[in-house]
A and B are shown apart, each in its own frame.
Chain A
Amino acid sequence: MAVDTLEQAESSTLSLDVEAVRRDFPILSRTVHGKPIVYLDNAATSQTPIPVIDTIRRYYLEENSNVHRGVHFLSQVATEKYEAARRRIATFLNSPVGCEVIFTRGTTDGINLVAQTYGRQHVGAGDEVLVSHLEHHSNIVPWQMLCEEKGARLRVIPINDRGEIIMESLDGLLTGKTKILALAHVSNALGTVNPVKEIIARAHERDIPVLLDGAQSAPHMPIDLKDLGADFFACSGHKMYGPTGIGILHGRAKVLNAMPPYQGGGDMIMSVSFEKTTFNSLPYKFEAGTPNIEGVIALGAAVDYLEHLGMDNIAAHERDLVAYATEALREVKGLTIIGTAKAKAGVISFVMESAHPHDIGQILDDEGVAIRVGHHCAQPVMARFGIPATARASFAAYNTRDEIDALVRALHKVNEVFG
C-alpha cells in the first residue's frame, strides 16, 4: 500500500494525492472520543508514515547492532544504513561541498551544541549575540545562558504587528560586536517565514555567522543550504515524519573542525590515554556515545518519504490550507488571527473573545480536533502581542480542507458553550 502511494505521488508532479498520502498514516484513521481524529498539531509533532514505521521495525527485526565498532555482519549492516541515511539527508538539504551532517537529539540539542562549543569559543565579555523576537525558547535560552556566563549581551531583532521581522532594524543590530545571529527560518508560534536569505547575506557582509533554526521549515518547504548559505542549520526528525529523539545539525567542516567537542565519550575519539585524547574527525567528533541508530535510519526513510511527495508539492498544498483556513476562520465570531505576515507556512495562531485558548483546546478535543494551546514555547512573541497564549492549528501534507471545516464547526461549538 505504501509503495503504491509513493509511486502515485511520484507520478503526480502537479499536486499531492492527499487521500493516498493519508492512507500512509494509519493513525489518521483512528477515532478520538468517538469522532474521526482531525490532527492539526503538526508544528509540535508530525505523524509517522508506514515506510518510516516499517524501517524501524525492519531495523529491530533484521539489522540491530552497534555502529562503527564491530567487524561482524550486523554491525556492518547497521553502520552502512546509518551512513547512507546521513548522505541522503545531506542531499535533501542540498548540502554544499565541505559541509557535514551531525546527528543530534533534535533542534534544541543542535542549538545547544553550537552555543556551548562555537559560542563559548567566540563570544566574550562585551560581545553580542543576536536573535529575533520570533524565536522559540530553544533559540533564546541557550544563548542567554552563554551571554550570562561570558558577560555578553543578547540583542533582539524587533517584529512588526503582522509578526514580521523589521528589516530596517538590521543595520543597527548587526555590528562589530555581534558574534553570531541565531534566527528562526519559520516561526513556530505565528508561521511567519523569515526572509533568511537576505538576512544571512547582510550578516555575512559583516562576517557574522548565522545559525538557522529550521525546526519549522524543514518539514514544509524545500531547503537549499547551498543557496541560503547558513553557517549552521538545525532541525528535528519528529516534525518531518520521522521519530522523536533524532535531529540534524548541519555546518561547515572548517568551522566544525575548529570547534571544541560538545560531549566526551566513545565514538568521538581517535585515541585515548590518561595523558591525552585525540578527537575523532568529523562528524564523529560531535557524536559521542552510541547514537540513536534506528532514529537516524528512520529519519533517512522520512526524508525519502518527503522527497517522494515532493517538497514543492507539500509547500503548495500547505499554502492552500493556510489560505483556506484564514478565510474559513473569518466566519467564527470573535476570532482574531495572531500573525498576519505576507509569507506564512503551515501555522495559524488565533485567540477568541469568548474563550481562553485552554478552553478552546478542551472543547475541540471533544470533537476529535487536536490543536496546541498555550504560549508555544515563545513567550516573548505572546508578550509582543499582549496575550498570554494562543490556540494554534498547524498543517501537514495529509491535512485537508474538510478537516479545516471540522475545525471551524468545533470553534462554533466553543462559542455556543462560552458565548
Chain B
Amino acid sequence: MADSRSLYEQVILDHNKKPRNFGKIENADAEIEGFNPLCGDHFTIYVKMEGDRIREVAFDGAGCAISKSSASIMTTTLKGKTIEEAKKIFEAFHQMVTSAPDAEFDADALGKLQVFSGVREYPVRIKCATLAWHALVAALEGQTEEPVTTE
C-alpha cells in the first residue's frame, strides 16, 4: 500500500483547514443531510437553484480530512453548473475513486477533483470521498426527506 502522503495531497489539506463555501445558506431550495454511520461524519448540504442551474452550494458539519475537503472542492466545482453537468461530474468522480489504482480516468472532466485519485489505494476511504456528493445528488433529484447515509 502507498504511503498516505499520496492520499493527503496539499490541496486536500488546504481545503480541510480552510473549507470553502462552509456554512448555511438561508432560504436554500434544498437542504439535505449526509452521514456515514461508521465513522460519524455528518454534513448538511445547502443548494440554491436558478432554473436548472446551481446558483449557490454550501455545506456545514464535521468529518475527516477526506470527506470535508471533498465537500469543499465539490462546492467550488459545481457552482454555476446545470443539474446534468453536476451529475456527469459526479459520475466521473465516482468512477475514478472506485476504480483500480492504475486505471485511467477522465482528467479533463475532473479538473481539480483529480487530487482524490489517491483514495483508490484506500478502499475504506471511498465513502469519505463520496459522502457529500451522494447527499448533493439526492438533493438535486428532490430526495430530501430522508438523510443520505453511506450504509
Q: Select which of A33, A363, A365, A375 is within 8 A of B40 by beta carbon.
A: A375
Residue of B nearest to A374 (CB): B39
Chain B nearest CB, measured from A289 CB (Å): 30
The residues in A between 275 and 321 inclusive whose CB is less than 8 angstroms from any CB of B are none
Interface string of B71-113 (1 = CB under 8 A from A): 0000000000000000000000000000000000000000000
**A418 contacts B65, CB within 8 Å?**
yes
Q: Select which of A359, A365, A366, A375 is within 8 A of B65 by beta carbon.
A: A359
The residues in B between 1 and 48 inclusive whose CB is less than 8 angstroms from any CB of A are 1, 3-5, 7-8, 13, 16-17, 38-42
Q: Select which of B1, B3, B39, B128 is within 8 A of A388 by beta carbon.
A: B39
The answer to whether A362 and B39 touch (CB under 8 A), given A356-B65, A388-B62, A418-B65, is no
**A356 contacts B64, CB within 8 Å?**
yes
**B13 contacts A417, CB within 8 Å?**
yes
**A359 contacts B1, CB within 8 Å?**
no
Q: Select which of B1, B38, B65, B125 is within 8 A of A33 by beta carbon.
A: B1
**A359 contacts B64, CB within 8 Å?**
yes
**B42 contacts A355, CB within 8 Å?**
no
Question: Does A358 belong to the interface (CB within 8 Å)?
Answer: yes
* Docked pose: A89 CA to B3 CA in angstroms: 44
Chain B nearest CB, measured from A190 CB (Å): 16
Residue of B nearest to A387 (CB): B40
The residues in A between 324 and 379 inclusive whose CB is less than 8 angstroms from any CB of B are 355-359, 362-363, 365-366, 373-375, 379
* Docked pose: A357 CA to B41 CA in angstroms: 11
**A33 contacts B3, CB within 8 Å?**
yes
For B40, the chain A residues whose CB sits under 8 A away are: 374-375, 379, 382, 388-389
Task: Tell which of B1, B62, B64 has the most Cβ of chain A within 10 Å.
Answer: B64
- Could you show 18 A-B contacts with beta carbons less than 8 Å apart? A356-B62, A357-B39, A358-B39, A358-B65, A358-B66, A359-B66, A362-B7, A362-B125, A366-B3, A366-B4, A373-B39, A374-B38, A374-B39, A379-B40, A388-B39, A417-B13, A418-B13, A418-B65
